[in-house]
Amino acid sequence: MYMRHSVVTGLGIQLPKRVMTNAEMSKLVDTTDEWIVERTGIRQRYIAGDDERTSDLAIGAARAALADAGTDAGEIDLIIVATSTPDNTFPATATAVQAGLGITHGAAFDVQAVCSGFVYALTVADSFIRCGQAHNVLVIGAETFSRILDWQDRTTCVLFGDGAGAVVVKGYEAGQAPGDRGIIACKLRSDGRHKEKLYVDGGPSSTGTVGYLRMEGREVFKHAVTNIASVMQETMDEAGVGVADIDLFVPHQANVRILDGTARKLGIDPDRVVVTVDKHGNTSAASIPLALGEAKAQGRLHRGDLVLLEAMGGGFTWGAVLLRW
Protein backbone atom coordinates (compact mmCIF):
# COMPACT_ATOMS: atom_id res chain seq x y z
CA MET A 1 0.00 0.00 0.00
CA TYR A 2 1.35 3.42 -0.97
CA MET A 3 1.81 5.98 1.77
CA ARG A 4 1.21 9.14 -0.22
CA HIS A 5 -1.39 10.44 -2.60
CA SER A 6 -1.36 12.93 -5.55
CA VAL A 7 -4.12 15.51 -5.97
CA VAL A 8 -4.59 17.89 -8.90
CA THR A 9 -5.08 21.28 -7.25
CA GLY A 10 -4.87 23.68 -10.19
CA LEU A 11 -5.34 23.86 -13.96
CA GLY A 12 -4.32 26.42 -16.58
CA ILE A 13 -4.12 26.70 -20.35
CA GLN A 14 -2.46 28.92 -22.94
CA LEU A 15 -3.36 29.03 -26.61
CA PRO A 16 -1.45 30.92 -29.31
CA LYS A 17 -2.92 34.20 -30.50
CA ARG A 18 -3.63 33.10 -34.07
CA VAL A 19 -6.58 30.93 -35.10
CA MET A 20 -6.41 29.18 -38.46
CA THR A 21 -9.69 27.98 -39.96
CA ASN A 22 -10.26 25.14 -42.42
CA ALA A 23 -11.11 27.78 -45.05
CA GLU A 24 -7.58 29.22 -44.68
CA MET A 25 -6.14 25.70 -44.83
CA SER A 26 -7.92 25.11 -48.14
CA LYS A 27 -5.93 28.02 -49.63
CA LEU A 28 -2.64 26.29 -48.75
CA VAL A 29 -3.33 22.68 -49.78
CA ASP A 30 -5.88 20.79 -51.89
CA THR A 31 -8.50 20.25 -49.20
CA THR A 32 -11.95 21.46 -48.16
CA ASP A 33 -13.71 22.37 -44.93
CA GLU A 34 -16.20 19.55 -45.69
CA TRP A 35 -13.47 16.88 -45.95
CA ILE A 36 -11.71 17.98 -42.76
CA VAL A 37 -14.94 18.24 -40.72
CA GLU A 38 -16.37 14.95 -41.99
CA ARG A 39 -13.16 12.90 -41.57
CA THR A 40 -11.82 14.48 -38.36
CA GLY A 41 -14.30 16.88 -36.71
CA ILE A 42 -11.68 19.66 -36.84
CA ARG A 43 -12.97 23.16 -37.71
CA GLN A 44 -10.00 25.30 -36.66
CA ARG A 45 -6.66 25.12 -34.86
CA TYR A 46 -4.32 27.62 -33.17
CA ILE A 47 -0.93 28.30 -34.75
CA ALA A 48 1.97 29.73 -32.74
CA GLY A 49 3.66 32.88 -34.03
CA ASP A 50 7.44 33.32 -34.26
CA ASP A 51 7.40 34.93 -30.82
CA GLU A 52 5.50 31.99 -29.27
CA ARG A 53 7.79 29.08 -28.46
CA THR A 54 6.73 25.88 -26.76
CA SER A 55 8.24 27.21 -23.51
CA ASP A 56 6.28 30.49 -23.80
CA LEU A 57 3.00 28.59 -24.09
CA ALA A 58 4.09 26.26 -21.27
CA ILE A 59 4.98 29.17 -18.97
CA GLY A 60 1.63 30.87 -19.66
CA ALA A 61 -0.27 27.67 -18.86
CA ALA A 62 1.89 27.05 -15.76
CA ARG A 63 1.24 30.55 -14.38
CA ALA A 64 -2.50 30.07 -14.86
CA ALA A 65 -2.37 26.66 -13.13
CA LEU A 66 -0.38 28.05 -10.19
CA ALA A 67 -2.89 30.90 -9.78
CA ASP A 68 -5.79 28.43 -9.94
CA ALA A 69 -4.14 26.25 -7.27
CA GLY A 70 -3.22 29.22 -5.09
CA THR A 71 0.34 27.86 -5.11
CA ASP A 72 3.44 30.05 -5.20
CA ALA A 73 6.03 29.11 -7.87
CA GLY A 74 8.55 28.81 -5.03
CA GLU A 75 6.64 25.79 -3.66
CA ILE A 76 7.18 23.77 -6.87
CA ASP A 77 9.92 21.15 -6.52
CA LEU A 78 9.49 19.32 -9.85
CA ILE A 79 8.53 20.46 -13.37
CA ILE A 80 7.72 17.88 -16.04
CA VAL A 81 7.02 19.08 -19.57
CA ALA A 82 5.51 16.60 -22.00
CA THR A 83 6.47 17.71 -25.50
CA SER A 84 7.69 16.44 -28.87
CA THR A 85 8.37 19.99 -30.06
CA PRO A 86 10.95 21.30 -27.57
CA ASP A 87 12.47 24.77 -27.99
CA ASN A 88 15.87 23.12 -28.57
CA THR A 89 17.15 19.56 -28.89
CA PHE A 90 18.55 20.23 -25.43
CA PRO A 91 18.30 21.43 -22.70
CA ALA A 92 14.86 20.25 -21.69
CA THR A 93 12.07 22.76 -22.27
CA ALA A 94 11.19 22.16 -18.61
CA THR A 95 14.37 24.04 -17.63
CA ALA A 96 13.24 27.05 -19.72
CA VAL A 97 9.92 26.89 -17.86
CA GLN A 98 11.76 26.67 -14.54
CA ALA A 99 13.84 29.76 -15.37
CA GLY A 100 10.78 31.59 -16.70
CA LEU A 101 8.97 31.01 -13.42
CA GLY A 102 11.99 32.14 -11.41
CA ILE A 103 12.47 28.75 -9.73
CA THR A 104 16.06 27.82 -8.80
CA HIS A 105 15.54 24.72 -6.66
CA GLY A 106 14.13 21.25 -7.36
CA ALA A 107 14.33 19.49 -10.73
CA ALA A 108 12.93 19.89 -14.24
CA PHE A 109 12.87 17.49 -17.18
CA ASP A 110 10.91 16.64 -20.33
CA VAL A 111 8.96 13.51 -21.13
CA GLN A 112 8.64 12.38 -24.74
CA ALA A 113 5.68 10.14 -25.51
CA VAL A 114 4.15 12.22 -28.33
CA CYS A 115 0.35 12.39 -27.99
CA SER A 116 0.43 10.20 -24.86
CA GLY A 117 2.88 12.64 -23.26
CA PHE A 118 0.50 14.20 -20.74
CA VAL A 119 -0.70 10.81 -19.47
CA TYR A 120 2.93 9.67 -19.21
CA ALA A 121 4.03 12.86 -17.42
CA LEU A 122 1.13 12.72 -14.95
CA THR A 123 1.99 9.09 -14.19
CA VAL A 124 5.64 10.02 -13.58
CA ALA A 125 4.56 12.89 -11.30
CA ASP A 126 2.28 10.56 -9.35
CA SER A 127 5.13 8.07 -8.91
CA PHE A 128 7.55 10.78 -7.71
CA ILE A 129 4.97 12.00 -5.21
CA ARG A 130 4.06 8.53 -3.96
CA CYS A 131 7.68 7.66 -3.25
CA GLY A 132 8.40 10.99 -1.56
CA GLN A 133 10.77 12.39 -4.22
CA ALA A 134 8.55 15.42 -4.90
CA HIS A 135 5.74 17.29 -3.15
CA ASN A 136 4.42 19.95 -5.53
CA VAL A 137 4.74 19.13 -9.21
CA LEU A 138 3.91 21.14 -12.31
CA VAL A 139 2.87 18.79 -15.13
CA ILE A 140 2.65 20.56 -18.48
CA GLY A 141 1.71 19.39 -21.97
CA ALA A 142 3.01 21.95 -24.48
CA GLU A 143 3.43 21.76 -28.25
CA THR A 144 4.15 23.78 -31.37
CA PHE A 145 3.42 21.00 -33.86
CA SER A 146 2.98 23.61 -36.61
CA ARG A 147 6.81 23.83 -36.67
CA ILE A 148 7.22 20.15 -37.67
CA LEU A 149 4.40 19.95 -40.21
CA ASP A 150 5.03 19.55 -43.91
CA TRP A 151 2.74 22.35 -45.07
CA GLN A 152 2.51 20.75 -48.51
CA ASP A 153 1.21 17.42 -47.21
CA ARG A 154 -2.59 17.68 -46.95
CA THR A 155 -2.82 14.30 -45.23
CA THR A 156 -1.10 15.66 -42.09
CA CYS A 157 -0.97 19.47 -42.03
CA VAL A 158 -4.74 19.86 -41.60
CA LEU A 159 -4.77 17.73 -38.45
CA PHE A 160 -2.52 19.40 -35.88
CA GLY A 161 -2.40 22.59 -33.83
CA ASP A 162 -0.43 24.33 -31.07
CA GLY A 163 -1.12 25.05 -27.41
CA ALA A 164 -0.33 24.20 -23.80
CA GLY A 165 -2.07 23.09 -20.64
CA ALA A 166 -0.74 22.59 -17.12
CA VAL A 167 -1.79 21.13 -13.80
CA VAL A 168 -0.38 21.49 -10.30
CA VAL A 169 -0.18 18.11 -8.56
CA LYS A 170 0.23 18.17 -4.79
CA GLY A 171 1.27 15.34 -2.50
CA TYR A 172 -0.76 14.47 0.59
CA GLU A 173 -0.04 11.95 3.31
CA ALA A 174 -2.39 8.95 3.30
CA GLY A 175 -5.81 9.95 4.57
CA GLN A 176 -5.01 13.69 4.43
CA ALA A 177 -6.26 14.42 0.89
CA PRO A 178 -9.38 16.60 0.84
CA GLY A 179 -12.41 14.34 0.29
CA ASP A 180 -11.21 11.27 -1.53
CA ARG A 181 -9.68 13.36 -4.30
CA GLY A 182 -6.57 12.32 -6.16
CA ILE A 183 -5.00 10.02 -8.73
CA ILE A 184 -6.38 6.50 -8.33
CA ALA A 185 -4.82 4.45 -11.13
CA CYS A 186 -2.39 4.94 -14.04
CA LYS A 187 -1.58 2.55 -16.90
CA LEU A 188 1.10 3.16 -19.52
CA ARG A 189 1.71 1.06 -22.63
CA SER A 190 3.92 1.14 -25.71
CA ASP A 191 4.72 -1.07 -28.68
CA GLY A 192 7.76 0.07 -30.68
CA ARG A 193 7.05 -2.28 -33.57
CA HIS A 194 4.77 0.49 -34.86
CA LYS A 195 7.26 3.33 -34.55
CA GLU A 196 7.34 4.03 -38.29
CA LYS A 197 3.59 4.54 -38.60
CA LEU A 198 3.77 7.97 -36.94
CA TYR A 199 7.16 9.64 -36.69
CA VAL A 200 9.29 12.66 -37.59
CA ASP A 201 11.70 12.01 -40.46
CA GLY A 202 14.64 13.83 -38.87
CA GLY A 203 16.61 14.08 -35.66
CA PRO A 204 20.06 14.80 -34.21
CA SER A 205 21.46 11.27 -34.58
CA SER A 206 19.82 10.30 -37.87
CA THR A 207 19.67 13.18 -40.36
CA GLY A 208 20.98 16.07 -38.29
CA THR A 209 17.83 18.00 -39.25
CA VAL A 210 14.58 18.68 -37.40
CA GLY A 211 12.45 16.82 -39.94
CA TYR A 212 8.72 16.68 -40.63
CA LEU A 213 5.86 14.67 -39.20
CA ARG A 214 4.90 11.59 -41.27
CA MET A 215 1.88 9.42 -40.58
CA GLU A 216 0.12 6.42 -42.03
CA GLY A 217 -3.21 7.80 -40.85
CA ARG A 218 -5.34 4.79 -41.69
CA GLU A 219 -2.92 2.42 -39.91
CA VAL A 220 -2.86 4.58 -36.78
CA PHE A 221 -6.63 4.84 -36.86
CA LYS A 222 -6.93 1.03 -37.06
CA HIS A 223 -5.04 0.53 -33.79
CA ALA A 224 -6.38 3.57 -31.94
CA VAL A 225 -9.83 2.45 -30.80
CA THR A 226 -8.65 -1.05 -29.76
CA ASN A 227 -5.62 0.18 -27.81
CA ILE A 228 -7.43 3.05 -26.13
CA ALA A 229 -10.47 0.98 -25.15
CA SER A 230 -8.32 -1.81 -23.69
CA VAL A 231 -6.15 0.50 -21.55
CA MET A 232 -9.23 2.37 -20.31
CA GLN A 233 -10.85 -0.92 -19.34
CA GLU A 234 -7.68 -2.15 -17.55
CA THR A 235 -7.45 1.13 -15.62
CA MET A 236 -11.10 0.97 -14.54
CA ASP A 237 -10.72 -2.72 -13.62
CA GLU A 238 -7.70 -1.99 -11.45
CA ALA A 239 -9.69 0.65 -9.56
CA GLY A 240 -12.79 -1.54 -9.36
CA VAL A 241 -15.00 0.96 -11.17
CA GLY A 242 -17.14 0.70 -14.30
CA VAL A 243 -18.09 3.00 -17.16
CA ALA A 244 -21.25 4.09 -15.33
CA ASP A 245 -19.16 5.38 -12.39
CA ILE A 246 -17.12 7.80 -14.52
CA ASP A 247 -18.45 11.36 -14.52
CA LEU A 248 -16.25 12.70 -17.31
CA PHE A 249 -14.09 11.10 -20.02
CA VAL A 250 -11.30 13.40 -21.21
CA PRO A 251 -9.62 11.78 -24.22
CA HIS A 252 -6.65 12.88 -26.27
CA GLN A 253 -8.16 14.77 -29.20
CA ALA A 254 -6.98 13.31 -32.52
CA ASN A 255 -10.15 12.62 -34.46
CA VAL A 256 -13.81 12.79 -33.44
CA ARG A 257 -14.36 9.41 -35.14
CA ILE A 258 -11.83 7.80 -32.76
CA LEU A 259 -13.64 9.39 -29.77
CA ASP A 260 -17.02 8.15 -31.04
CA GLY A 261 -15.65 4.67 -31.83
CA THR A 262 -14.12 4.29 -28.37
CA ALA A 263 -17.29 5.52 -26.67
CA ARG A 264 -19.38 3.04 -28.68
CA LYS A 265 -17.01 0.14 -27.90
CA LEU A 266 -17.13 0.76 -24.14
CA GLY A 267 -20.79 1.83 -24.00
CA ILE A 268 -19.98 5.39 -22.87
CA ASP A 269 -22.70 8.03 -23.01
CA PRO A 270 -21.38 10.64 -25.54
CA ASP A 271 -22.61 13.42 -23.20
CA ARG A 272 -19.87 12.44 -20.77
CA VAL A 273 -17.05 12.73 -23.34
CA VAL A 274 -15.20 16.04 -23.69
CA VAL A 275 -14.65 16.98 -27.35
CA THR A 276 -12.38 19.91 -28.24
CA VAL A 277 -10.79 18.64 -31.45
CA ASP A 278 -13.16 20.95 -33.36
CA LYS A 279 -11.53 24.04 -31.77
CA HIS A 280 -7.93 22.94 -31.17
CA GLY A 281 -7.17 20.22 -33.75
CA ASN A 282 -4.73 17.60 -32.48
CA THR A 283 -2.34 19.37 -30.08
CA SER A 284 -0.52 16.15 -29.12
CA ALA A 285 0.66 16.27 -25.46
CA ALA A 286 -1.30 19.49 -24.84
CA SER A 287 -4.69 18.15 -25.88
CA ILE A 288 -5.80 16.56 -22.58
CA PRO A 289 -5.04 19.55 -20.32
CA LEU A 290 -6.57 21.85 -22.97
CA ALA A 291 -9.69 19.67 -22.95
CA LEU A 292 -9.77 19.75 -19.13
CA GLY A 293 -9.55 23.56 -19.33
CA GLU A 294 -12.41 23.72 -21.80
CA ALA A 295 -14.54 21.35 -19.70
CA LYS A 296 -13.92 23.48 -16.62
CA ALA A 297 -14.76 26.71 -18.48
CA GLN A 298 -18.03 25.11 -19.62
CA GLY A 299 -18.92 24.11 -16.05
CA ARG A 300 -18.67 20.39 -16.90
CA LEU A 301 -15.79 19.56 -14.51
CA HIS A 302 -16.57 19.64 -10.80
CA ARG A 303 -14.54 18.96 -7.68
CA GLY A 304 -15.09 15.34 -6.66
CA ASP A 305 -15.88 14.13 -10.20
CA LEU A 306 -14.42 10.78 -11.25
CA VAL A 307 -12.44 11.57 -14.42
CA LEU A 308 -10.75 9.20 -16.88
CA LEU A 309 -7.99 10.57 -19.13
CA GLU A 310 -6.68 8.55 -22.09
CA ALA A 311 -4.34 8.96 -25.03
CA MET A 312 -2.57 7.18 -27.86
CA GLY A 313 0.25 8.42 -30.04
CA GLY A 314 3.48 7.76 -31.93
CA GLY A 315 5.58 4.81 -30.85
CA PHE A 316 2.91 3.56 -30.44
CA THR A 317 2.45 4.78 -26.90
CA TRP A 318 -0.85 4.79 -25.06
CA GLY A 319 -2.21 5.02 -21.55
CA ALA A 320 -4.91 6.17 -19.14
CA VAL A 321 -5.16 7.91 -15.77
CA LEU A 322 -8.16 7.67 -13.45
CA LEU A 323 -8.53 10.41 -10.85
CA ARG A 324 -11.03 12.03 -8.56
CA TRP A 325 -10.88 15.74 -9.50
Sites of contact with ligand UT7 (CB under 6 A): 31, 35, 39-40, 115, 154-155, 158, 217-218, 220-221, 224, 254-255, 258, 282, 312-313
* CB 39 to ligand UT7: min, Å: 4
- Contact assessment for residue 72 and residue 66, using Cβ atoms and an 8 Å cutoff: yes
DSSP 201: S
- Residue in 5, 115, 157, 255 annotated catalytic: 115
- In the complex, least distance from residue 297 CB atom to ligand UT7, rounded to whole angstroms: 23
Nearer to ligand UT7, 154 or 272 (CB): 154
Active site residue 136: no
Closer residue to ligand UT7 in complex, CB, 252/324: 252
* Closest residue to ligand UT7: CB criterion: 217
Rounded to the nearest 10 degrees, what angle do helices 117-130 and 287-297 cross at?
A: 90
Rounded CA-CA distance 163/19 in Å is: 11
Q: How many helices (H) and strands (E) does the chain have?
A: 10, 13
Quick check: helix, strand or coil at residue 177?
coil
Smallest distance from ligand UT7 to CB 248, Å: 20
Q: What are the residues whose beta carbons fall under 8 Å from the beta carbon of 264, sequence distance 6 or more?
A: none
Distance CA 323, CA 29 (A): 41
List % helix, strand, coil for the chain (3-state, nearest 5): 40, 30, 35
**Catalytic annotation present for 252:** yes
Q: How far is the CB of 224 from ligand UT7 (least distance, A)?
A: 5
CB 34 → ligand UT7: shortest distance, Å?
9
Report the alpha-carbon distance of residue 318 to residue 254 in Å, rounded: 13
Choose between 27 and 218: whose C-beta lies nearer to ligand UT7: 218
Coil/strand/helix, residue 244: helix
Q: What count of other Cβ atoms lies within 10 Å of the Cβ of residue 230? A: 16
When the beta carbons of 101 and 308 are compared against ligand UT7, the nearer one is 308
Task: State which residue, 193 or 218, has the beta carbon closest to ligand UT7.
Answer: 218
Q: Is residue 205 packed enough to be buried (19+ CB in 10 Å), middle (13-18) or exposed (0-12)?
A: exposed
Radius of gyration of the chain (CA): 18
31 vs 71, which CB is nearer to ligand UT7? 31
**Do residues 198 and 216 make contact, with C-beta atoms less than 8 angstroms apart?**
yes
Question: Among 22, 227, 255, 282, which one carries the catalytic annotation?
Answer: 282
**Catalytic residue check, 282:** yes
Residue 100 CB, nearest approach to ligand UT7 (Å) = 27
Catalytic-role residue among 5, 194, 252, 280: 252
Which residue numbers are catalytic? 115, 252, 282
